[in-house]
Amino acid sequence: MQIRITNSLTRQKEPLRTLVPGKLSLYVCGVTVYDFSHVGHARVYIVFDVVQRTARRMGLDVTYVRNFTDVDDKIIARANQNGETTDALTTRMIAAFHEDMDRLDCERPQVEPRVTTHMPEIVAMIEQIIARGHGYVVPGEVQADGSIAQDVYFDVRTFPPYGALSGRSQDDNADGASERVQHDARKHSQADFALWKSAKPGEPFWNSPWGNGRPGWHIECSAMACKHLGETFDVHCGGKDLVFPHHENEIAQARAANGQEFARQWMHNGFVTIDSEKMSKSLGNFFTIRDVLARFHPQVLRYFLLTAHYTHPLNFSDRSLEEAQKRVLAIYEKLAAAEALLTARGMASGGQMDEPELELVENARGELQDALCDDFNTPRALAALSEPIAALSLALDKPKAAGALDVIAQVRAFLHEASGWLGLFQHPPTTVVEAIVAQARDRLFPPGSEALANVERLLVERQEARAAKDWKRADEARDALTQVGAEVRDGPQGTTWRPRLTDEA
Domain range list for the chain: 4-291, 319-431, 445-499
Q: Is the pLDDT of residue 422 over 80?
A: yes
Spatial neighbors of 8 by CB under 8 A, at least 6 apart, are 165, 243, 266, 267, 268
Q: What pLDDT is recorded for position 495? A: 81
Give the span between the Cα atoms of 447 and 384, in whole angstroms: 39
* pLDDT for 79: 97
**The pLDDT value given to residue 173:** 56
Helix (H) or strand (E) holding 47: helix 39-57
* Mean pLDDT confidence for 408-421: 97
Q: In the predicted model, what is the mean pLDDT of residues 286-307?
A: 97
CA–CA separation, 23 and 52 (whole Å): 11
- Over residues 114-137, the mean pLDDT reads 98
Q: 43-47, 254-258, 375-379, 481-485: which range is least confident on average?
A: 481-485
* pLDDT tens column, 433-462: 999 999 999 999 999 999 999 999 999 999
What CA–CA distances, in Å, run from 382 to 309, 367, 368, 422, 502? 11, 10, 8, 9, 17
Task: Kindly report the backbone phi and psi dihedral angles of residue 397, in degrees, each rounded to the nearest multiple of 5, phi listed first.
Answer: -70, -30
Distance of CA 66 to CAs 27, 52, 228, Å? Answer: 6, 12, 10
Whats the size of the chain, residue-wise?
505
Distance CA 257, CA 249 (A): 12
Greater model confidence, 480 or 172: 480
Q: Residue 269, exposed/middle/buried by CB under 10 A (0-12, 13-18, 19+)? A: buried
Confidence of residue 496 (pLDDT cuts 50, 70, 90): confident
Amino acid identity, position 4: R
- Which is nearest to 384 in space by CA: 407, 408, 365, 359? 365
Question: Three-class SS of residue 275?
Answer: coil
User: Tens of pLDDT along 348-362?
Assistant: 654 444 568 899 999
Range scoring the smallest mean pLDDT among 21-35, 137-151, 167-181, 411-425: 167-181
Cα–Cα distance measured from residue 417 to residue 407, given in angstroms and rounded to the nearest whole number: 15
**Looking at the predicted structure, is the pLDDT value of residue 175 above 80?**
no
Name the DSSP letter for residue 494: E
**What integer pLDDT is reported at residue 417 of this predicted model?**
97
Alpha carbons within 13 angstroms on the beta-carbon side of residue 200 total 5
DSSP per residue over 347-392, as a string?
Answer: -TT-S--SSPPPHHHHHHHHHHHHHHHBT--HHHHHHTTHHHHHHH
CA–CA separation, 243 and 245 (whole Å): 6
CA distance 106 to 98: 9
CB-neighbour burial class of residue 407 (10 A; exposed 0-12, middle 13-18, buried 19+): buried
User: Do strands 486-491 and 148-154 pair parallel, antiparallel, or not at all (unpaired)?
Assistant: unpaired
Question: What value does the mean pLDDT take over residues 96-123?
Answer: 98
Return the pLDDT at 346.
Answer: 79
Domain covering 4-291, topology? Rossmann fold (3.40.50)
Please tell me the predicted confidence (pLDDT) of residue 95.
98
Whole-number percent of the chain with pLDDT over 90: 87
219 close to 254: Cβ distance less than 8 angstroms: no
How much is the pLDDT for 375?
Answer: 98
**pLDDT tens-digit map of 79-97:** 999 999 999 999 999 999 9
Mean per-residue pLDDT over the chain, rounded: 93
Q: What's the pLDDT score for residue 378? A: 98
Residue 176, pLDDT above cutoff 60: no
Residue spans of alpha helices (H) in 384-470: 386-397, 404-422, 429-444, 450-467
Per residue in 178-231, pLDDT (tens digit) is 445 567 889 999 999 999 999 999 999 999 999 999 999 999 999 999 999 999
